[in-house]
Chain A
Amino acid sequence: MQTPPTCQSKAETTSASVAPKGKTLWRSVAEFEGTPEFAALVQREFPEGADTASHEERRQFIRVMGASFALAGLAITGCRRWPEQKIAPYASRPATRMPGQAVRYATCVEIDGVGTPILAKSLDGRPIKVDGNGSVAGATGGTSAGVQGTVLDLYDPDRLRVVLHEGHESSVPEFQAFAANEIGRLRGTQGAGLAFLLEPTASPSRVAMRQAIAKSFPKASMHEWTPRHGDAERAGTAAAFGSAKRPFLKLDEAKIVVAFDADVLMDGADAPRVTAAWASTRRVNGEGAAHQELSRLYSFESRLSVTGMNADERVAMRSSEIANVVAEFAKRLGVDGGDLNVRNALAGLGSGAKLDSHAEAVLAAAVKDVQAAKGKCAVVAGPAQPAAVHALVALVNERIGAAGRTVTYAPATGPSSCVDSIAALTAALNAGSIETLVICGANPAYDAPPELAFGDAMAKAKHVVRLAEKLDETGALTSCHWSIPAAHSLECWGDSVAADGTILLQQPLILPLIEPNAGGLSEIELLAMLADEKATTRAGYDVVREVHAKRVASSGSAFEASWRAALESGAMGSSYSTSAPTVNAGAVASMALSHKAATGQGIELVLFTDSKVLAGRWSNNAWLQELPDAVTKVTWDNTLNLAPATAKSMGVRHGSVVTVTVDGRSVDAAVFVLPGHAEGSASLALGYGRGAVAGRIADGAGCDSFSLREGGADLQAATFQPTGRTYPIANTQDKGIAEAIMPEVPLQGIQDRLPTLVREGTLEEYRLHPDFAKHRTHVVHRLSLWEESNLDGAQFRWAMSVDLNTCTGCSACVTACQSENNIPVVGKSMVLRGREMSWIRLDRYFKGSDPSSPVDYRIQPVACQHCENAPCEQVCPVAATVHDKDGLNVMVYNRCIGTRYCSNNCPYKVRRFNFFDYNAKRPEREEGFLKTDLGYYERYYTLNRDEGPDLFRQMQFNPDVTVRSRGVMEKCTFCTQRIQEAKIDFKNRWAQKGGEKAGTANFSIPDGAIVTACQQACPAGAIVFGDLNDANSQVAKLFSQGRSYQMLEELNTKTRLRYLAKVTNPALPREDDPHAGHDHSHDGHDHETHA
């Protein structure tokens, strides 16, 4: 490669004082160490095989092209009209329905027994998008990526669509006949020999039906199981309060948050609300003293979590050692209140705390902060921690004054221990005392503790009836006699309870996408059928209505009115209000005393719920599989995450395959070397390794960590044996990054530039210089090489602001964008070649001079920056990417001929190219030059290669966005379809009033009327979109803030997407801060124009 002539600007844009001494921001250990592989990767703009063909292939290519031109000629001679299309109007259109206009329904989705209120968008009868319902009191409009993905689950091609009886297709009436007979028999025995395995739920109607079953069959045994059981939390809170509780966090009130192995910002159904509350304490806007305060987040954890990445102070330590630290923390806070038992317990447990100098300093700072915060603080423990820790944390929260203020408690759902419950069921099955087993939803053959061998035990029952959305591991067993298709939550009536106790209604948007007579039953309907003497069906609607009529004890028109109002708002009163009961300190002390400190010296294994597919619930969801993990950026797999030092001691590298063994059961997992991970610890996500039985998407993704989860515990003593094999890990971080524009720039050049891309300062610095972010780089040139677009006189100037201070990296925006904009899924093999299509990427950087223990972590969402002076537009030979008057950089798909020049010239690397017709036709060729192995792809998109694309999949597409074809470039549009919709709507209203004659010169769009998909999904409210021409708009105010900066401002691209620099609030001084020596004497330079 030739070295480009060094231009003067490059030398000037990076001043010596900005340049760090070593590497400060980096994305992987490989980059930090400068391994040859990484150097090669960086030298190449695109990954291996992404853009090249060998000499032989080129010749072949020309032959193929010649043939296709000949074919094209033939096609022209046979010219024809558009294919004939049919219009099928309603026979009788509902009164308010307007074809082509979306309708939003307030409904809910329940995840792990906690309801999330959602607004589901239906277009011409098809649910196409799900968003949070922020109008429900206490809820946030933001969502998690998983909730965004639920709509794709509805159209999952692998759903069970027929009733199966012993492997043969059956029907609901046939099942009813069986049930009536069986129920008659069991009624005689009062249900002896009958067992139910259900999932814990908060849903009032599901609970009511379970009670009805218990009433019909008093001797039947009821069991509950979910892999995300939270048994330790239940046990700990039960000891502390007398009954099991679930903590409810109000972080908006907290100045100090201390998380012990808890991923509060990412884990659990309630995480978006917690994130929103936390973000409200992280927003600084420089106006007034109140807006110059930041909360501080401490995290003690083993694996690197999203909470850990966002923590101001983080300590990486083995999960098993955290209990001692919690005790030490409690001891130093003096929570014993003079109680000797508590004091002794804390002293005993706390003395085992292994604190190195950094951990000691962080703990001391946390203690000091908590004491100073006077109750405006919260302490949280994670699910992997033992019951003693949860009990201690409850005690600490009470004694520091947090209970009732930042932490309240809700009643826990489910049995006292899910693990005990399923163990009891297995024992009963093995003892032969259960003849009939009914399973609703749970998938114990996959996720139950492996030593129970639930599948074998199930074979001992005479009849097994299972209601499930998929024929998964449990359903595929021959001992599962009846498999009945379950309805998706967007297909049936139901209800749930939100984390704060608000009762939510669930209403269907569409009839079950299931064969007629094949069910599509909800759990409510199945249980209602079984509770009935003659096994007659009851509509879910009737059951839910009846339950709520009984609950509010009203009837007739009064109930009708409140029911209708609830269907419109999504919420119907409250089930409970959270409270802060008194902690029984003595019970906590005895629990702490009985806690056995970890003695294992080996490497411990941490099993955690995956942030994308949960514990397997969304394994077959292609959006979520392809979503890069928030921390590792890995797609399509779970990886064994190890600290660099641990990997070294094990003798393995990134991508090595290691056999992990727990008590004789072993699994092969690929190593991901993760800086910041605790040493002596390995973490592996649950929810993978499912095989073909779980569906074509889940097949082949990751390894089955459930087979290591003995006793359902998240912490395991495991042995690790390198196999010598390697495994390709498709992660999106090490490529496609800004330095690719100039691979000749040595790594030092990249290092110089990174701090100007991700700008940050401490709170002190921000208070002194609110515009510190403007001084991180020196913009010298304002001259353009070409004529700049003239945007004068535009009515709107759309722009977006992204706050790096509140963005946690949760990745909900990525899935929301995929859902809104019909972005294709490309599969692992394509991601490995760098062909992922996501319009938003979240760059993750490690910060610090030691690769094994980074000091900080930085996240930066990057989408099209909508440069006013867009480099992409200058190189397009066919003007397929141009500016519109409002300042949007628009991409005209039907003009694009696929030269990819624009992507090459884009300094932000945000353009995505459709290498194949991912959305419609079968993309791969079986032989020749174009031969591609898209294995998974065929499985996903084409049910049958002769039948064309998957019709179910097509139903999800947003008709307001063009579905792109092969050979077309695409990128973020700022949701141009939403902008147009709002523009037309507001202009219509203005015109209908008489236009100018009515007195207003032109129509206007109020600030906030246009919300982009990412903005809508963002739980933290980090993304703001609006019109810069409106000086009072939120985005205009944010652009004028001191923290606002442009990425690569020195290129004079004049971006319309600007970042708000991160303001950190560390408790301890950071060493090696690249900005420490940078004073503000260069102010004169910054805005100067060297014309």
Chain B
Amino acid sequence: MHNVAGPPPVSRFLFPRWTNLVLPLILIVGATAPIYMAFVVAYGLSPKTLDVGYQPTQPVPYSHALHVGELGLDCRYCHNTVESSPQASVPPTQTCMNCHTQIRKESLKLEPVRASYESGMPIEWTRVNKVGDYAYFDHSAHVNRGVSCVECHGRVDQMEVVQRAAPLSMGWCLECHRDPIDRIRPVSEVFNLGWDAAASLTDADRDALVRQYHLNPSENCSTCHR
């Protein structure tokens, strides 16, 4: 009777055993994907990704590396309002021509400068560093109290073409406003971009600087938003 033909023994399971892994996998992927996506989006949209490194082509191939790094011009020779005005100011054509009426008078690269000087029309530079329209940054308030250009603009003295060195986002500003001690230096060294603050200042020096300039950067909204 054992040989009675019957239906072959059928497994209770329609799916093979390995499929047991699928559901947990789906769950894991399903659970992590939004988090992953959030990270991707956050990274992709962060000012750091979007803005740092922005390096537009300028109408005149002016090299900070040459003028500042090699020839040793001071930042303030051109950006002469930086200590007394909110704006550092892009220099007028006149400033270029102070030297270039004598030096490289024929250079093709300087053609737009000469044209501007003759016509009186401005050279249109493309803006590299910018904070939101609702935020008000004041250069003079920073450089007069030991915050160097390099903290926001990077080693401009080494840049052939100026690029954005920092995100200039609110979070980034607040990093320093909450704890400025690592980013200050004597006012005399503010425009010396290559100065090694880490090696030259002791903690005691820094404390003394904070006291000297009564550095207590405000985190109030009204400090930057008006």
* B209 CB, nearest partner CB in chain A, Å: 9
**Which chain A residues border B93 with CB–CB below 8 Å?**
89-92
**Given known contacts A84-B126, A85-B126, A91-B121, A99 and B223 CB-to-CB distance under 8 angstroms:** no
Kindly state the separation between the CA atoms of A1001 and B123 in the bound complex, as whole angstroms: 45
A91-B116, A92-B117, A997-B212 are known contacts; what are 4 more A-B pairs with Cβ within 8 Å? A79-B50, A91-B93, A991-B213, A992-B83
Kindly state the separation between the CA atoms of A885 and B144 in the bound complex, as whole angstroms: 23
A757 in contact (CB, < 8 A): no
User: Are the C-beta atoms of A976 and B222 separated by less than 8 Å?
Assistant: yes
Kindly state the separation between the CA atoms of A532 and B58 in the bound complex, as whole angstroms: 51
* Interface size in chain A (residues, C-beta < 8 A): 48
Kindly state the separation between the CA atoms of A101 and B140 in the bound complex, as whole angstroms: 12
Query: Contact mask A86-106 → B, CB, 8 Å, 1/0?
Result: 111111110000111100000
* B171 CB, nearest partner CB in chain A, Å: 14
A888 in contact (CB, < 8 A): yes
Q: Which of B96-145 contact A (CB under 8 A)?
A: 116-117, 119-127, 130, 132-134, 136, 138, 140-141, 144-145
Complex A-B: 30 CB contacts under 8 Å: A76-B41, A82-B51, A85-B130, A86-B124, A86-B125, A87-B124, A87-B126, A90-B93, A90-B122, A91-B122, A91-B123, A98-B81, A99-B85, A100-B81, A101-B81, A884-B220, A884-B221, A884-B223, A886-B220, A890-B225, A960-B226, A963-B133, A977-B136, A984-B86, A984-B140, A988-B84, A988-B141, A995-B213, A997-B212, A1003-B214
Kindly state the separation between the CA atoms of A93 and B90 in the bound complex, as whole angstroms: 11
User: Are the C-beta atoms of B225 and A991 separated by less than 8 Å?
Assistant: no
**Which chain A residues border B132 with CB–CB below 8 Å?**
894
**Given known contacts A890-B220, A960-B136, A984-B141, A82 and B130 CB-to-CB distance under 8 angstroms:** yes
**Given known contacts A92-B94, A988-B84, A81 and B50 CB-to-CB distance under 8 angstroms:** yes
* B207 CB, nearest partner CB in chain A, Å: 12
A1002 in contact (CB, < 8 A): yes
The 3 closest A-B pairs by CB, nearest first: A884-B220, A88-B122, A100-B87
Kindly state the separation between the CA atoms of A892 and B144 in the bound complex, as whole angstroms: 27
User: Are the C-beta atoms of B120 and A995 separated by less than 8 Å?
Assistant: no
Q: Which of A958-980 contact B (CB under 8 A)?
A: 960-963, 973, 976-977, 979-980
* A105 CB, nearest partner CB in chain B, Å: 19
User: Are the C-beta atoms of A980 and B125 separated by less than 8 Å?
Assistant: no
User: Are the C-beta atoms of B214 and A98 separated by less than 8 Å?
Assistant: no
Query: Contact mask A56-94 → B, CB, 8 Å, 1/0?
Result: 000000000000000000001001011011111111110
User: Are the C-beta atoms of A89 and B91 separated by less than 8 Å?
Assistant: yes
**Given known contacts A84-B127, A91-B120, A99 and B214 CB-to-CB distance under 8 angstroms:** no
CB-nearest residue of chain B to A890: B222
Q: Which of B36-89 contact A (CB under 8 A)?
A: 41, 44-45, 50-51, 54, 56, 81, 83-87, 89
Q: Which of B188-226 contact A (CB under 8 A)?
A: 211-214, 218, 220-223, 225-226
Looking at chain B's contact residues, is the secondary structure mostly helix, strand, loop, or mixed? loop
CB-nearest residue of chain A to B138: A984
User: Are the C-beta atoms of A91 and B212 separated by less than 8 Å?
Assistant: no
Kindly state the separation between the CA atoms of A973 and B214 in the bound complex, as whole angstroms: 26
**Given known contacts A85-B126, A885-B220, A893 and B225 CB-to-CB distance under 8 angstroms:** yes
* B56 CB, nearest partner CB in chain A, Å: 7
Count of inter-chain pairs, beta carbons less than 8 A? 148
Instruction: For A885, give its contact among B83, B130, B212, B218 (CB under 8 Å).
Output: B218
CB-nearest residue of chain A to B91: A89
Kindly state the separation between the CA atoms of A960 and B85 in the bound complex, as whole angstroms: 13
**Which chain A residues border B134 with CB–CB below 8 Å?**
893-894, 962
**Given known contacts A884-B223, A991-B144, A87 and B81 CB-to-CB distance under 8 angstroms:** no
A560 in contact (CB, < 8 A): no
A166 in contact (CB, < 8 A): no
Kindly state the separation between the CA atoms of A394 and B123 in the bound complex, as whole angstroms: 65
**Which chain A residues border B144 with CB–CB below 8 Å?**
987-988, 991-992
A12 in contact (CB, < 8 A): no
Query: Contact mask A986-1015 → B, CB, 8 Å, 1/0?
Result: 011001101111000111000000000000
Kindly state the separation between the CA atoms of A86 and B130 in the bound complex, as whole angstroms: 11
Kindly state the separation between the CA atoms of A1058 and B58 in the bound complex, as whole angstroms: 54
* A1010 CB, nearest partner CB in chain B, Å: 13
Q: Which of B1-55 contact A (CB under 8 A)?
A: 41, 44-45, 50-51, 54
User: Are the C-beta atoms of B89 and A89 separated by less than 8 Å?
Assistant: yes
**Which chain A residues border B51 with CB–CB below 8 Å?**
81-82
User: Are the C-beta atoms of A995 and B214 separated by less than 8 Å?
Assistant: yes
Kindly state the separation between the CA atoms of A1003 and B136 in the bound complex, as whole angstroms: 21
**Given known contacts A84-B126, A962-B134, A997-B212, A980 and B81 CB-to-CB distance under 8 angstroms:** no
Kindly state the separation between the CA atoms of A337 and B117 in the bound complex, as whole angstroms: 78
**Given known contacts A79-B44, A960-B226, A984-B140, A98 and B212 CB-to-CB distance under 8 angstroms:** no
User: Are the C-beta atoms of B94 and A892 separated by less than 8 Å?
Assistant: no
User: Are the C-beta atoms of A991 and B85 separated by less than 8 Å?
Assistant: no
* B19 CB, nearest partner CB in chain A, Å: 35
* A1003 CB, nearest partner CB in chain B, Å: 7
**Which chain A residues border B222 with CB–CB below 8 Å?**
884, 886, 888, 890, 973, 976, 979-980
Query: Contact mask A452-470 → B, CB, 8 Å, 1/0?
Result: 0000000000000000000
Q: Which of A647-668 contact B (CB under 8 A)?
A: none
CB-nearest residue of chain B to A879: B221
